Amino acid sequence: MASTEGLVPITRAFLASYYDKYPFPPLSDDVSRLYSDMASLIQLLALQSPPSQGEASLIEEANREPPHKIDENMWKNREQMEEILFLLQPSRWPVQLREPCTSEDAELSSTLRHLKDNFDKALTAMISFQSKNSERIFSTVMTYMPQDFRGTLIRQQKERSERNKQAEVDALVSSGGSIRDTYALLWKQQMERRRQLAQLGSATGVYKTLVKYLVGVPQVLLDFIRQINDDDGPMEEQRERYGPHLYNLTKMVTAIRVSLTLLWERYDTFKLNKNQMNLLSEAVIVYTSEFERFITFISDVFANSPFFISADTAGTLGSRENEEYKEIIVQAGRTYEDIGFCVEYISASGEKTLILPYHRYEADQGNFSTLMAGNYKLVWDNSYSTFFKKTLRYKVDCIPPVVEPTN
């Protein structure tokens, strides 16, 4: 079990400094150009024949701004890749492409096979990235957990939970669930993982005591999992720094999927000309290449990013301005051998649970063996939830020195 002594969770200020060392080389200018051309192709196809209700929903989705969260965009890209690969299966092609009678149809059929290879490769990279990133996070967390039966139980519970989730997906697919249905379930499961982590990190009362002391979860780890996905937490720096690149890729892959969907339904009355075929081919090649480049880059960034940093580093980067403290004033005219405090949780029934044992705190003016009058700050370490701050009570002891009798 790795020590967490002196560590605090990563802060947004730290990530801003860390990401300065990892600037992402901008996406190719071809991405915006091809996206614009694909949007024009979609409009042309929609004019060819009024969109069905399902097609209209796809067009509306393509016109919406992508999700804000990085991982939601990752799932959205993966979903669109699977939808495109489904459309690129020869059995899903228009009959004119399955049994080409013209040189143009034969050329497009050959092109489609190559484009399918591009998406197969990109999807494999996407799945590998998600799997490795998930395992890296769990492995890092486990290094701070007790390396005994408790750690084994936690790992077994995770494996059991993931098997149950996979069984749920398999059952949906077996019952005829669509790709959209499948990814709606996958995202729901991802959000459930987040909620479970947030609930663990924000646990209160006796349950938190059990989690922290019996199960052995370090407080700094609870802090990390509670705050990491906050809307304005550390990951917001990641979204602002790298999100716009990923958002453009999300828009582009969605446009490719929508254009293919509309084209397949209109192929008997609308044939792509040479320029439009080149547009489709170039859009796929540029998207898959740029997406794989982004995935490779962000994977390296994630792999080297720590979860925890020293309190000194966090303080240097300005996180200390958010610390809270309770001030104890010792009246002038007396001296004390010791000033300390402990924190208790008192349930509705009056039962007391010790949360923090007695700690000694030094005065502002320095480290003295005998503490003088002054202000003494009992500093929170940002690890307690709002609930705790309302229900815990301080017990402060000011112990006067022992006065020896005079002769």
Q: How confident is the model at residue 255 (pLDDT cuts 50, 70, 90)?
A: very high
pLDDT in tens, 112-131: 999 999 999 999 999 999 99
Residue 180 inside a domain? The answer is no
Last residue of a domain, one of 263, 289, 314: 314
Instruction: Enter the DSSP assignment of 213.
Output: I
Residue 200 inside a domain? The answer is no
Q: Are residues 303 and 333 in the same domain?
A: no
Q: Are residues 132 and 230 in the same domain?
A: yes
Residue 299 inside a domain? The answer is yes
Kindly state the average pLDDT of the residues 225-236: 69
pLDDT at 137: 76
As a whole number of angstroms, the distance between CA 347 and CA 380 comes to: 21
Q: Is 146 exposed, middle or buried (0-12, 13-18, 19+ CB in 10 A)?
A: middle
pLDDT at 333: 43
Q: What is the pTM of this model?
A: 0.70
Q: How confident is the model at residue 152 (pLDDT cuts 50, 70, 90)?
A: confident
For 69, the domain range is 7-144+218-314
Last residue of a domain, one of 290, 314, 338: 314
As a whole number of angstroms, the distance between CA 149 and CA 397 comes to: 39
Count CB atoms within 10 A of the CB of residue 21: 8
Q: Is 119 exposed, middle or buried (0-12, 13-18, 19+ CB in 10 A)?
A: buried
Residue holding tokens 């009992």?
378
Q: Are residues 111 and 238 in the same domain?
A: yes
Find all residues with CB under 8 Å of 317, minimum gap 6, and list them. 11, 13, 14, 17
Q: How confident is the model at residue 221 (pLDDT cuts 50, 70, 90)?
A: low
Find all residues with CB under 8 Å of 356, minimum gap 6, and list them. 342, 343
pLDDT in tens, 318-376: 434 444 444 455 444 444 445 555 555 555 566 666 555 555 554 443 333 334 444 44
Q: How many structural domains comprise the chain?
A: 2
pLDDT in tens, 270-297: 888 889 999 999 999 999 999 999 999 9
Last residue of a domain, one of 253, 282, 314: 314
Residue holding tokens 């339904």?
265
Q: Are residues 114 and 229 in the same domain?
A: yes
Q: Are residues 299 and 254 in the same domain?
A: yes
Q: Are residues 123 and 251 in the same domain?
A: yes
pLDDT in tens, 308-320: 666 556 555 543 4
Q: Are residues 273 and 296 in the same domain?
A: yes
Q: How confident is the model at residue 260 (pLDDT cuts 50, 70, 90)?
A: very high
Q: Are residues 231 and 377 in the same domain?
A: no
